Amino acid sequence: MKKTTLTDIAREAGVGVATVDRVLNRRAPVRQETENRVVQAATRLGYRFAPEFLAEAAPQGMHAAGGTLRIGVLLLSRDYSFYDTFARALEKQAMPYCQPGVPIEFVFHDIHAVEQAAASIEEMSSRVNTLVLIALDNALVRHAVQKAAKKGVKVFTLLSDLSPCGHTGYIGLDNRKAGRTAAWIVQRLSGPPGKVGVVIGDNRFLCQETCEISFRSYLREHATGHTVLEPVTSHENVEQGYSVTSRLIQNHPDLSVIYAPCGGVEGVVNALRDSGKKDQITLICHGPLQDAQLALIDGTLDIMVSHRLEELAGSVVEAMRQASHDAHGSFISLHSYFELITKENI
């Protein structure tokens, strides 16, 4: 890997090499704005700061030269492509605002590892000033969030909110809109009324609960004639998604639609493809997901309600920055946009 030079940093920051030398080697003071620009440029380029520089910068806290944030992130398994892609997008978006030489701390956990999630929240809260998490709405998780908030850590829920527990804000979709949009698709674009299967990750994800309720509500309001079955649970897992979808198709020969506002959708797609009924069953899912283009092209997947991951990552960073300057501690809610993807607009 090419070593980052002072010349590289100077070019990136738009200053002279001598200015970069003054900042990074502490040879002479420069304006705070210039110092911030130099250190942010160095961080973006992957420059390895000297221990002496980090030791001097770290105690300056939230408004330290070159960055304001020490970020911890708790996500579901990196085996699911959504979270791996999002993690990379967040690293990119947050880099200019992170403390020099201190990368985002990621912890990936299994959906039902509630004790592990709570322990990770408590552990990270001793090292970070901002924490972003996705977890089940569980009393143990909420207790850990309360403890972190009392330490002064800004805690944000991502994609799925928690019941009130002292956290700073929520970043994710307007899940009511997402669920009703999926139902509108069923009403307008699917075939004759039939049975509708719903695949969720877990009932304790408030985002998926809201999507399901809103989906049902729209179809009921518009008297479409569809029969919405009780949801089946994928546990955000590809293998489990395959298993429950296969049983759903087998147990309901007249199934006409599947709506999957969850993780592990790759398993749902594979089960529908293997069933030989991809031309009879309309599949609407949330994404992005691995090999979505192929699923759209071959007709297994009809419409994907897709997060814009770069924009979502940007919203997370914007929420963090708002919180760092908000003296009143008001709740921050930022809704990210989604787009409808079909094989005609990939």
Q: Range with the lowest mean pLDDT among 22-31, 158-167, 169-178?
A: 22-31
pLDDT digits (tens, 9 = 90+) for 85-142: 899 999 888 887 887 777 899 999 999 999 999 999 999 999 999 999 999 999 999 9
Q: What is the pLDDT of residue 65?
A: 38
Closest by CA to 226, choosing from 186, 199, 253, is: 186
Same domain, 142 and 245: no
Same domain, 111 and 151: yes
The conformation of residue 125, written as its DSSP 8-state character, comes to T
CATH number of 48's domain: 1.10.260.40
pLDDT digits (tens, 9 = 90+) for 271-302: 999 999 999 999 999 999 999 999 999 999 99
Number of structural domains found in the chain: 3
Its domain, for residue 119, covers: 71-173+309-337
Q: What is the pLDDT of residue 66?
A: 38
Query: Has residue 37 got a pLDDT over 90?
Result: no
- The answer to whether residue 343 sits within a structural domain is no
Q: Would you tell me how many other CB atoms lie within 10 Å of the CB of residue 96?
A: 18
- The answer to whether residue 345 sits within a structural domain is no
Residue 39 pLDDT class (50, 70, 90 cuts): confident
Q: What is the pLDDT of residue 255?
A: 96
- The answer to whether residue 49 sits within a structural domain is yes
Tell me which of 26, 47, 63 is where a domain ends.
63
Residue carrying the six token digits 């998926």: 208
Single pTM value for the model: 0.80
Query: Where are any strands of DSSP class E within 10-145?
Result: 71-76, 105-109, 130-133
One-character DSSP codes across 147-205: HHHHTT-EEEEESS--SSSS--EEEE--HHHHHHHHHHHHHHHS-SS-EEEEEES-TT-
Same domain, 81 and 203: no
Q: 261 near 203, Cβ under 8 Å? A: no
Residue 67 pLDDT class (50, 70, 90 cuts): very low
**What are the strands of the beta sheet with 169-172, ordered from one edge?**
105-109, 71-76, 130-133, 154-158, 169-172, 332-335
